[in-house]
């Protein structure tokens, strides 16, 4: 399982981002979930955002403001758990992939990520650049800027046109 992401971003644009991907038997990407989090030490809460794509069509997105967490890494972990669930933290991806107990304070979130991971037939996590995750990043920053905590999931119903239609067709 892999996500094809262009890698021609400038080095200064590289910021941590995670992706979870499911492929069919031909290696075609079916679903991709991109998640991001927004954290500020001076803020009263965190922001989370995710976008779910069916191939390249956005089918679902969500944003949420939650209570302040201990660190940006905790915020990324919570965001990943919430959307299961793509983030923007390469450090978190490394921790998940290596399965080492480097951050004991993250154990509850990592245990939940592992439990959720086991509910999928196939899931992978991959670092992508922030510029490839603009939509989720914007949702997370907008959520953090809100005054009150909230959670919103919006279903996008893409217009599915018939390849060929007839006015005289009967059902």
Domain that holds residue 125: 12-68+97-155
Of all helices (H) and strands (E), which one includes residue 152? strand 150-155
If you search the block for the tokens 């037939």, which residue do you land on? 121
Whether 75 is covered by a domain: the verdict is no
Which residue did the predictor score with more confidence, 111 or 7? 111
Question: 111 lies in a domain?
Answer: yes
Number of domains in the chain: 1
Among residues 1, 15, 6, 30, the alpha carbon closest in space to that of 137 is found at 15
For residue 138, count other CB atoms closer than 10 A to its CB: 16
The reported pTM is 0.60
Whether residue 36 is contained in a domain is answered as yes
**Cα–Cα distance measured from residue 118 to residue 146, given in angstroms and rounded to the nearest whole number:** 33
Query: What digits encode the pLDDT tens for the residues 78-95?
Result: 888 777 644 445 666 666
Q: Mean per-residue pLDDT for 132-152?
A: 88
Is 19 a domain residue? Answer: yes
Residue 58 lies in a domain: yes
Instruction: Give buried/exposed letters for 97-106 (b at 16+ CB in 10 A, else e).
Output: eeeeeebeeb
Question: pLDDT of 17-68, one tens digit each?
Answer: 444 445 555 555 567 788 889 999 888 899 998 888 877 788 778 899 999 9
Q: Is residue 82 part of a domain?
A: no
User: How far is Cα 49 from Cα 35, in angstroms, rounded to an integer?
Assistant: 6
Is 81 within a domain? no
Least confident of 42-51, 99-108, 135-144: 99-108
The answer to whether position 105 is within a domain reads: yes
Instruction: Output the pLDDT for position 81.
Output: 78
Task: Give which of 20, 1, 2 is closest to 133, Cα–Cα.
Answer: 20
Cα–Cα distance for residue pair 110/128, rounded to 1 Å = 20
């Amino acid at each position: 399982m892999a996500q094809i992401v262009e890698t021609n971003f400038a080095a200064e644009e590289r910021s941590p981002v995670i992706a979870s991907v499911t492929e069919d038997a031909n290696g075609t990407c079916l679903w991709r979930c991109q998640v991001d989090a927004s954290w500020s030490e001076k803020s009263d809460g965190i922001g989370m955002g995710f976008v779910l794509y069916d191939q390249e069509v956005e089918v679902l997105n969500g944003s949420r403001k939650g209570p302040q967490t201990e660190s940006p890494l905790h915020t990324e972990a919570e965001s990943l758990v919430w959307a299961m669930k793509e983030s923007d933290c390469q450090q978190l991806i490394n921790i998940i992939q290596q399965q080492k107990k480097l951050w004991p304070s993250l154990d509850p979130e990592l245990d939940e990520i592992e439990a959720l991971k086991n509910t999928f037939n196939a899931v992978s996590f991959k670092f992508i650049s922030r510029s490839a995750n603009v939509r989720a990043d914007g949702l997370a920053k907008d959520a953090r800027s809100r005054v009150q905590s909230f959670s919103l999931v919006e279903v996008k119903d893409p217009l599915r046109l018939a390849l060929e239609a007839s006015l005289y067709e009967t059902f």
